[in-house]
Homo-oligomer: A and B are copies of this chain.
Amino acid sequence: MKDLEFSFELIAQDEKARVGRISTHRGMVDTPAFMPVGTLGTVKGIFTDDLLSTGSQIILGNTYHLMIRPGTEVLDLFGGLHNYMNWQKPILTDSGGFQIMSLAKLNKIDVDIGAVFSSHLDGKKFVLSPEKSIQIQKSINSDIMMVLDECPALTNDKEKLIKAIDISSNWARRCKIEFGKNKKKGLFGIVQGGLDKNLRLDSLEKLIKIDFDGYAMGGLAVGETQAEMFNILNSVVDYMPKNKPRYLMGVGTPSDMLGAVKSGIDMFDCVIPTRSGRTGLAFTWEGKLNLRNAKYQKDKSPLDKDVTLCGLNTYSKSYLNHLIKSNEILASMLISIHNVNFYQQFMVEIRRSIKEGNFDNFYNNYIKKF
């Protein structure tokens, strides 16, 4: 187990929907997989032991955030993020590209130098090159690394999209070189090209030539409609290598994931379960519940009578309504762990339905509820 090489095995398929398994020396990841987001080395509001109990097999860390805080010097001292945060299962890291575009004050993108930007915290200047991004991800010691890409805001401007693909392809090649030979870890390429099928296929082709351990769809869930996203996934995912994991970055709601799985996606990450946990929105088999709603004030029923984790089935909606209205930390704690647990149960049922050749039924049952 300790010496396991990074690999992916396809186990079952139901039309385009796939069940697979990623192996790493830190553990297996059953796909379709949902990765809770641990932006700053913590999945917000959740103890790592409880996170394990949700069945989460992999989490995501953000290179941009972790390079600023705590920084690579501290991460190196601990031999990476696993020991630092007490999470010994696999970690995937993004490259920092998306946050540089969305969060930092971006000064310049130069294909040779990289991205020059100022921290959103204190304005401190950073340069992130493809090489630097991989070096930081090595300090984080993540098990799956992502290439640095230029991730443009939602646009139909073909010239902008082509330029982003050019830069991203160049950077992807340099990331692969910097990553080097390491069979224990995986490096994923990121397909760009906006909502344009031909540009997406062009980007994908360039990445396949470089040869990655997995391929991600980037630049989605950035403001387009769900129909637009499903449309581009349906036209592109089928061309992604079948023997490699396919990852849809930053997605999403349960219905987003249903549609993406239907087109053949294997991996997801999203802050929705924990962010919603902090605002009082619970995901359940009955759909989304806004626990701030006055109608729950005297509701003695739990969110899910079958979930014993953290005693969740012993807390009433009435109590959760009270906690969330009172801005109590316990509200975030309880609803966040509930939501992550629901997401993982949702993935279990997706995998089961695919194995049973029944995914269409599952899809039709739940696409309306979310």
Contacts and interface: CB of A to CB of B under 8 A. Distances in A.
Contacts of A210: none
A70 interface: yes
A183 interface: no
B70 A322 contact: yes
A109 interface: no
A343 to B, nearest CB: 18
Contacts of A85: 319
B44 A330 contact: yes
A311 B47 contact: yes
B318 A77 contact: yes
Interface in A28-71: 40-42, 44-49, 69-70
Nearest to A41: B322
A309 B31 CA distance: 33
Contact of A315 (B46, B86, B318, B325): B86
Contact of A42 (B46, B48, B74, B330): B330
A300 interface: yes
A73 B322 CA distance: 13
A300 B47 contact: no
B70 A311 contact: no
A74 B298 contact: yes
Nearest to A331: B42
Contact of A333 (B74, B311, B325, B329): B329
A326 B47 contact: no
A362 interface: no
Contact of A47 (B42, B310, B332): B310
A297 interface: yes
Contacts of A178: none
A126 interface: no
B330 A47 contact: yes
A84 interface: yes
Interface string A291-315: 0000001101000000000110011
A318 B86 contact: no
A249 interface: no
A319 B66 CA distance: 12
A42 B323 contact: yes
Given A326-B69, A328-B42, A333-B333, A48 B298 contact: no
A311 B78 contact: no
Contact of A300 (B44, B77, B318, B333): B77
Given A40-B322, A78-B318, A84-B319, A45 B300 contact: no
Contacts of A310: 47, 49
Contacts of A330: 42, 44-47
Interface string A328-370: 1110110000000000000000000000000000000000000
16 contacts: A40-B326, A44-B328, A46-B330, A47-B311, A47-B330, A69-B322, A69-B325, A70-B297, A70-B322, A73-B298, A77-B298, A78-B316, A78-B318, A84-B316, A84-B319, A86-B314
